[in-house]
Amino acid sequence: MKTLNIGLVGYGFMGRTHSNAFHQAPRFFDLPMKPVLKAICSRNADRAKAFAANWGYESVETDWRTLIDRKDIDLIDIASPNDTHQEIAVAAAKAGKMVMCEKPLGRTAAEAQAMVDAVEAAKVPNSVWYNYRRVPAVTLIKNLIDEGKLGRIFHYRAKFLQDWTISQDLPQGGEGLWRLDVSVAGSGVTGDLLAHCIDTAMWLNGSISEVSAMTETFIKQRKHTLTGKVEPVGIDDASAFLARFGNGSLATFESTRYARGHKALYTLEINGEHASAFWDLHDLHRIQYFDHRDEGRVRGWRSVHVTDGDHPYMKHWWVPGLQIGYEHTFIHQFADFVTAAAEGKSVAPTFRDGLATDHVTDAVLKSALTKQWETVGR
């Protein structure tokens, strides 16, 4: 079988989820290419070596340019912080590599546009790790919508609520905390959390036309780990917006890291003329589904445990009632990527899909400043 030689950039949280996917996908899915964990790249050689030893990478690099130059690498997978995405992706595409990139694609739509241009010019398979599309429950909702079960859509609502930055004592920046450093992350919860909500929303319900947003930074100053000084906080701690979709439906979106009691509560709901669906990351294997065509007396929200063989992806796993977890979403995306890549194709969400989300987050951040409704760019 043909091999797919992978070079990973980044060894953090996402480096682990991706590496796990590279190992697990071929055991549970029939793949047309055999993934080989060829190299892990990080500026910190010691950490890279430890990561390579644990995850079975054959080699280590400390400069991503060197990695891209290697002839034995087919796929560059970018799992490093947001401020590195553009440069690495563009270079990789130019070198003719396939590229997978963590979300958000760019810190801005401008960055993302350059990345799209590069992969499309190079005609290389590409994908952005908006992993939640491949929670089986979320994929099931997509299927139900595509089959027309919901009918005309009236409403969409999504939230991504966390509470891990409420303490004033938490520093910004540094190991594991670059998401709080605006220069690295680009934005706060808008790019980190809302971007997930937006990607799923547009996949399920089409394009977003215009938004009215507000953002807030509740804690204005935090010590910066790298400088050791108390500095102004540049990220948005909370971000919410109203939206109108191209199909005429209305939406509310909200994300925050100050919602006490919620760890990673990504919820979405879509209301159609005939049926509605709801999903919640904290119980990720379930959907709540309501169908108005049920007989009136026994009409209610159905709690569907999405663990059967006829549910998306689930025939590859265990038996009904036995659930899978968070990391499986990456396995699914990687399995789909390899299948498409073997034919030279990209799998959604492509870089172009990632750009679309960046256009919305740009509009959100702009609207929060202008206090106007902003039209979403294309």
Per CB under 8 A, contacts with its own copies among 92-131 are none
Q: Does 272 bind its own copies (CB under 8 A)?
A: yes
Q: Does 144 bind its own copies (CB under 8 A)?
A: yes
d(CA 265, CA 372) in angstroms, rounded, equals 28
Q: Are 198 and 133 in contact (CB under 8 A)?
A: no
Q: Does 291 bind its own copies (CB under 8 A)?
A: yes
Least distance from its own copies to the Cβ atom of residue 123, Å: 33
Binding part of the chain for its own copies, among 73-81, 82-90, 224-232, 236-244 by CB under 8 A, reads 236-244
Q: Does 283 bind its own copies (CB under 8 A)?
A: yes
Q: 352: how many CB neighbours lie within 10 A of its CB?
A: 18
Distances (CA, A) of 62 to 54, 55, 57, 97, 349: 17, 17, 14, 18, 29
Least distance from its own copies to the Cβ atom of residue 341, Å: 21
- Written as one string, the DSSP assignment of 72-119 is T--EEEE-S-GGGHHHHHHHHHHTT-EEEEPSSS-SSHHHHHHHHHHH
Q: Are 143 and 133 in contact (CB under 8 A)?
A: no
Q: Does 212 bind its own copies (CB under 8 A)?
A: yes
User: Which residue among 66, 273, 315, 369 contacts its own copies (CB under 8 A)?
Assistant: 273
User: Which residue among 27, 71, 229, 378 contacts its own copies (CB under 8 A)?
Assistant: 27
User: Which residue among 262, 332, 352, 359 contacts its own copies (CB under 8 A)?
Assistant: 262
Binding-residue pattern over the window 240 to 259 for its own copies, x denoting contact by CB under 8 A: xxx-x---x-x-x-x-x-xx
Q: Checking phi first, is residue 17 left (phi over 0); if not, alpha (psi -120 to 50) or beta?
A: alpha
Q: Does 165 bind its own copies (CB under 8 A)?
A: no
Binding-residue pattern over the window 50 to 89 for its own copies, x denoting contact by CB under 8 A: ----xx----------------------------------
- Residues in contact with 71: Cβ distance below 8 Å, sequence separation at least 6, in sequence order: none
* Strand 286-291 versus strand 238-245 pairing type: unpaired
Q: How many residues bind its own copies (CB under 8 A)?
A: 87
